[in-house]
């Protein structure tokens, strides 16, 4: 069900983040802003649902999101916008999950998307995804604990970002997420912070 402005708001937030990265000079060549903007909106199109095992935090990979966004973009908007722009946006989406992407714009888009997995935004997204699957607070706390226990976040920091400036933002956001996880744990076990 697609009510409300969440998808548009999320696309605008992603687009604003990319514009900020461009303004900060993260990419040296002139970025294709039109294709980047269209890709931001395409990434918010509804994706095919994935069922996960109970107790595991959901995560649609960048590859899955990008591939589905490219397919949906081609299916839904073809014939409504300039074909060259559509082709550039689809190529950008297809290039984004490559390791490493050849296109600087794809690196920028990948970093901006991956940043959403960190911090308070990442926490809220996890809550939304678990709720859709009928899971709750216990499963969220368990999943957060397992991600810490198995070094998930360190691996994500190392492998998910192409620009050091974005990796530093992710590291700061991760500290916020860890604070939230600690508070959640304390409230679940009943000995909340003083």
Using one digit for the tens of pLDDT, what is the confidence trace for 9-55? 999 999 999 999 999 999 888 899 999 999 999 998 876 555 544 54
pLDDT at 60: 73
* 24-32, Cβ contacts within 8 angstroms, sequence gap of 24 or more: 24/165, 26/108, 26/163, 26/165, 26/166, 27/104, 27/105, 27/107, 27/108, 28/104, 29/104, 31/104, 31/105, 31/108, 32/88, 32/92, 32/105
Q: Is the pLDDT of residue 194 over 90?
A: no
pLDDT at 181: 93
pLDDT at 178: 94
HSE value, Cβ hemisphere, 13 Å, CA-based, for 82: 7
Position of tokens 């959901």?
A: 58
Spell out the residues 6+ positions from residue 18 whose beta carbon is closer than 8 angstroms to its own. 36, 40, 108, 109, 112
137 with 177: CB under 8 angstroms? no
> How many Å apart are CA 81 and CA 89, to the nearest integer?
11
pLDDT at 88: 96
- The structure's pTM equals 0.86
Provide the residue ranges of all domains of the chain, joining segments of one domain with +: 6-189
pLDDT at 81: 87
172-183 average pLDDT score: 95
Q: Is the pLDDT of residue 4 over 80?
A: no
The per-residue pLDDT for range 59-118, each reduced to its tens digit, is: 678 899 899 989 988 888 877 888 999 999 999 999 999 988 899 999 999 999 999 999
Into which CATH architecture does domain 6-189 fall?
Orthogonal Bundle (1.10)
Q: Could you tell me which residue, 75 or 164, shows the higher pLDDT?
A: 164
> How many Å apart are CA 11 and CA 43, to the nearest integer?
8
158-178 average pLDDT score: 96
83 with 170: CB under 8 angstroms? no
155-181 average pLDDT score: 96
* Among candidate residues 117, 7, 115, 136, the one with its CA nearest the CA of residue 60: 117
pLDDT at 83: 92
pLDDT at 41: 93
pLDDT at 1: 46
The DSSP H or E segment spanning 113 is helix 104-115
> How many Å apart are CA 137 and CA 17, to the nearest integer?
29
Confidence band for 191, pLDDT divided at 50, 70 and 90? low
* Among candidate residues 128, 114, 127, the one with its CA nearest the CA of residue 170: 114
pLDDT at 192: 47
């Amino acid at each position: 069900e697609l009510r409300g402005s969440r998808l548009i708001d999320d696309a605008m937030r992603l687009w604003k983040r990319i514009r900020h990265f461009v303004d900060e000079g993260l990419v040296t060549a002139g970025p294709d802003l039109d294709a980047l903007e269209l890709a931001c909106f395409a990434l918010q199109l509804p994706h095919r649902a994935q069922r996960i095992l109970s107790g595991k935090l959901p995560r649609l990979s960048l590859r899955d999101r990008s591939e589905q966004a490219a397919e949906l973009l081609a299916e839904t908007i073809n014939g409504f916008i300039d074909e060259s722009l559509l082709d550039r946006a689809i190529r950008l989406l297809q290039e984004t999950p490559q390791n490493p992407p050849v296109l600087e714009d794809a690196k920028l888009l990948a970093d901006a998307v991956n940043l959403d997995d960190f911090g308070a935004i990442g926490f809220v997204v996890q809550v939304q995804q678990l709720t859709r699957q009928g899971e709750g607070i216990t499963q969220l706390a368990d999943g957060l604990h397992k991600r810490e226990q198995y070094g998930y976040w360190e691996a994500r920091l190392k492998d998910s970002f192409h620009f050091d400036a974005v990796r530093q933002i992710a590291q700061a956001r991760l500290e916020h997420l860890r604070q939230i996880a600690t508070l959640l744990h304390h409230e679940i076990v009943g000995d909340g912070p003083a």
